[in-house]
Amino acid sequence: MRFLADIGVAPRIVDWLREQGHGASHLSDEGLHRLPDAEIFQKAAREKSILLTFDLDFAEIVALSGSAEVSVVLFRLDNTQTDFVLSRLASVLRESGHLLPTGVIVIVEDSRHRIRRLPIRKSQ
């Protein structure tokens, strides 16, 4: 799998993903730390990357886009220490990693994660 880490995600998480055999890049690696959210989303889509972020705006961007092309892992953690984020991400990959390439939003919380398939459709 390929991952794109938003600026709020520790670079060590990208290093860990690479050690696990995944393709991973960080916006700061490319000098894109000031890139607007919509352009980050487009970059992830072009590169067929799963976006890792703490930024709630991406859930809204994905929902409004109607797209199922970009998966987003959204960290909603009280404990944002890198070791804890890594342990939560490892758990998501172990339990639900097979769903990540299929177009989902994964909301990662301190003790659980929730998955919402894309595109998100309004109830009739």
Give the domain ranges of the chain: 2-117
Peptide bond into 36 cis (omega under 30): no
Choose among 108, 107, 103, 106: nearest CA to 119.
103
pLDDT (tens digit per residue) in 14-67: 999 999 999 999 999 988 878 898 899 889 989 999 999 999 888 778 777 766
Distance separating alpha carbons of residues 26 and 29, to the nearest angstrom? 5
Q: Are strands 72-75 and 2-5 parallel, antiparallel or unpaired?
A: unpaired
Distance separating alpha carbons of residues 98 and 20, to the nearest angstrom? 15
pTM above 0.95, yes or no: no
State residue 70's pLDDT score: 84
